[in-house]
Amino acid sequence: MLDFGLLKRQIDNMAVDARTMQDDFFARIDLALSEMDRWEDSWETLATRIARSRTSWLVAHPSGPITEACPRPERPKALTVIAADGSQIFPDRHEIANCFLINIGYVVLHYGTGERPILASEPDLFYSEEDLYHEWAGKRSPVTREIVGVKRNAMELDKVVALSAQAHEEGRTTVGLTDGTLILWMLEGKPHDFRRETLKTTLEGFERLRELRVPIAGYISDPGSADTVNALRVGLCPEQPPDCDKCPWKAAEAQHLLNLDGDAETPAPIPCEPIAGVTDDMLYARKLKRGERSGVFRSSSKILDDYGPHRICFFYVHTGWEIGRVEIPQWVAEDRDLLDLVHTTVVDQVDKGRGYPVVLSESHERAVVRGPDRDIFYKFLKDAYIKNDVKVEQSIKQLKKLAATV
């Protein structure tokens, strides 16, 4: 049986430790907020320090006062909001045929015109040799789940661009929204020709939207990023310029840990550590009021070096439900009218969706391929092969799975 007396003492100790950690974390947030205020008037000095620094983390590059809080602009009475989302059935060598499916759900919401929304989906089946095999860096290999995901992302953007072009021809004020980041993180470490082709497709879509003057934005719910906090950490560093690879405090700490006799003096704490662990949304939950957005920051991701005028910037917005991160191309960030349009549209969409942009949740519902849909897809495949007298071959593994369900 449990020794409840001993257990109770352990639980009490755990609660005390948790309270200590909580108090420490709140102190970190307070310190980060005071650092924001310290750089309010000298943000350009901070921006220069950031530009000259070499850090091991992503750092936000401010384009204005780091404490900036912009009120929500008035939403246009007539507004069209477009989104597309995708889902897929990956290639499965144990199934009837070697193929894969991408389903694109798309939504067009018209406000102020009385028109009905467009809510639909378009499935695309890929089965040709050129669909199933790719050659990167001189090596031919079968399509992977990652490649299918890249293709799906490109198709989502293509759909937003096509619908935006149609809305532009109709003279509508339009905003395109996507779920998640606009930064192609999956390109890190990939072959050069793969990066080039993938990036080319994305930038062509962004360029077409720029020509139409239709802003596109990626909405990230519950972001958890710390780019702005990392900018403040650069401000705390006394080195000129800051260089994480040559940090003397880290070197001293490492040397202390290696000292086995224990006589060495404890090194001074690393100057940037007191606010480590704080995230940007924690700061802006204190700084922004409902409907307000932060200033615009430029991302320092190396992937963006080839984006040109489409380099990704971002801001944080208090939607009334959460602090969301909104990513936009640089040409949107530099056009105040388009920036304001994105700002007010995001807040309005989150409010209508009761915590998440309604156009994104609706497009997801149209895109998602659930288990029963997958079963029907493979039934269609089997029936079509039998009808056309095509030999059907399934793996032993798949036949065992089928037998287990009978």
Parse the chain into domains and list their residue ranges.
Answer: 70-226+277-369, 372-405
Digit-coded pLDDT (tens) for 109-168: 999 998 999 999 999 998 888 888 887 767 788 888 888 888 899 999 999 999 999 999
CA distance 349 to 357: 4
Q: How confident is the model at residue 257 (pLDDT cuts 50, 70, 90)?
A: low
Give, in order, the Cα–Cα distances in Å from 95 to each of 149, 327, 372: 20, 39, 16
More confident residue, 405 or 32: 32
Output the pTM of the full model.
Answer: 0.85
If you count them, how many residues does the chain have?
A: 406
Look at residue 399 in the predicted model and tell me its pLDDT.
Answer: 43
Q: Residue ranges of the alpha helices (H) in 39-100?
A: 43-52
Task: Say if CB 326 and CB 94 are below 8 A apart.
Answer: no
395 band by pLDDT with thresholds 50, 70 and 90: very low
CB count in 10 Å sphere of residue 258: 8
**For residues 198 and 10, what is the distance between their CA atoms, to the nearest angstrom?**
54
212 pLDDT more than 90? yes
Residue-wise pLDDT tens digits, 45-63: 888 888 888 888 888 899 8
Compute CA 239 distance to the chain's CA centroid, rounded to the nearest angstrom: 32
CATH architecture of the domain with range 70-226+277-369: 2-Layer Sandwich (3.30)
